[in-house]
Amino acid sequence: MRMSISKTISGLKEKFTEFIKQHMRSLISCAVFVLMTTLLIVIYIISRQYPHFVYKYYTTGVFKIITFIPKAIARIWPFSFAEFFFVLFLIFFFTYTIIVIGKTIKALILRRYRPLHRFARYCTFILKTICVLLSTFILFGGFNYNSLPLSEVAGYEIKATDTELLAALCRLLEDKAAENYIDATEVPLFDLLDEAENAYANARENYEFLNNYTDFLSPPKPAVLSTGMCYLQLSGIYPIVYTESIVNYKAPRATLPHTICHELAHQMGFAREDEANYIAFIACVSSNRKEFVYSGYYAAFVYSMNALYQYDNDRWLAVYEQTDPRIIDHMRQANEFWDSYTTPNDILGNISESVNDAYLNSNNVSDGVHSYGRIVDLLIAELLQDYS
């Protein structure tokens, strides 16, 4: 009995030794991947303490250089490379996973352990893929989350304000939206996509601090998977691992120009959502096209009204009752549109929001998805600066 156990242990040792020898190169390369990624993550975390350094040497320096080639490639084709690679990767990943699991189960049933080497290679592939994605994310834009706040770059003073000032901001934005009202339903999609870069060119003339950021952008791309984005309650995405702005072309046209400019703001180096919303606003209102001007004021009005509703229902109602009926109609249409893509118990929407919230929190955006509403702080800061 003891001899049998001894032989079994000896046999397992031999197989383990053989396994290590056969996969030594793969294990070493995997260890290097993990070590380099861990080092990069540590640097990323430390960089949170040095926003001035990140802004000076990364956001307005390294970021411009390393994103140039991906953006240049993205300009070649009018549709999204990122979507294509994402779908291709999913097909490969699930096919590879099914094959590996099937062969591993078969090997275990037949007690043939050599095919288990395939499973080991699969595990190292997964680990290396995760390392590559994390490293690419950090290098190609992740550091921008640790850059200087936009308020400091633009010279705005962010301070607590009362709801009376917030209500005044809402009325001002409503007046501007009503003044520039236009129904963009029939405007060709690519006309809107093409105008975004012109809007930013105008914005740079009006807001000098924008000239510190990269002006080389790849055109925004309409998402082939827009229907799926609707169910996930997404109007646009910016996959940092491939610097490309993707918009849901099915989203309501009243907000689409603002969404386009929002995703382009990420390309420029504005990683935080509240800042990207504000940058999109100033780009829209700087445009020569009324569709963009209206969209900018409309989006800012909606964000400001949401904030006012949260803190002062009475003032919110007073502003709402005086709002142009055409603007209210656009708000109603937007709600109906997104509601039409709500799944039972809004499962997909909740999952999407939870993932986005976790993503934002992991990148030092403490308010999570609620940071989308902090555009209001920047709008008020600009308003106070203009009238001071």
The predicted pLDDT at position 19 comes to 57
C-alpha–C-alpha distance, residues 9 and 114, integer Å: 17
The predicted pLDDT at position 40 comes to 97
The predicted pLDDT at position 345 comes to 54
Dihedral over Cα of 182, 183, 187, 192: its sign: positive
The predicted pLDDT at position 365 comes to 52
Average pLDDT over every residue of 57-65: 96
The predicted pLDDT at position 352 comes to 45
Average pLDDT along the chain:
86
User: Backbone phi, then psi, for 42, in 5-degree steps?
Assistant: -60, -45
Residue with tokens 């043939």: 112
> How far out from the chain centre does Cα 148 lie?
18
Q: Which helix (H) or strand (E) holds 222?
A: strand 221-222
Rg (Cα) of the chain, in Å, rounded? 26
> How far out from the chain centre does Cα 173 lie?
26
The number of helices, as runs of H, and strands, as runs of E, in the chain is 18, 3
Question: Is 336 within 8 Å of 220 (Cβ atoms)?
Answer: no
With 90 as the cut, is the pLDDT of residue 142 above it?
A: yes
With 80 as the cut, is the pLDDT of residue 17 above it?
A: no
How much of the chain is in helix, strand and coil states, percent to nearest 5? 75, 0, 25
C-alpha–C-alpha distance, residues 221 and 224, integer Å: 9
The predicted pLDDT at position 369 comes to 37
With 80 as the cut, is the pLDDT of residue 117 above it?
A: no
Which tens digit of pLDDT belongs to each residue from 149-179?
Answer: 999 999 998 887 788 989 999 999 999 999 9
The predicted pLDDT at position 27 comes to 76
pTM: 0.85
CA distances from 158 to 133, 171, 301 (A): 35, 20, 19
With 70 as the cut, is the pLDDT of residue 353 above it?
A: no
- Quickly state the pLDDT bin for 313 (edges 50, 70, 90): very high
The DSSP string of 37-51 is HHHHHHHHHHHTT-H
- Quickly state the pLDDT bin for 354 (edges 50, 70, 90): low
C-alpha–C-alpha distance, residues 141 and 136, integer Å: 8
Which tens digit of pLDDT belongs to each residue from 216-240?
Answer: 999 999 999 999 999 999 999 999 8
With 70 as the cut, is the pLDDT of residue 265 above it?
A: yes
C-alpha–C-alpha distance, residues 163 and 316, integer Å: 9
State which amino acid sits at residue 178.
A
C-alpha–C-alpha distance, residues 42 and 35, integer Å: 11
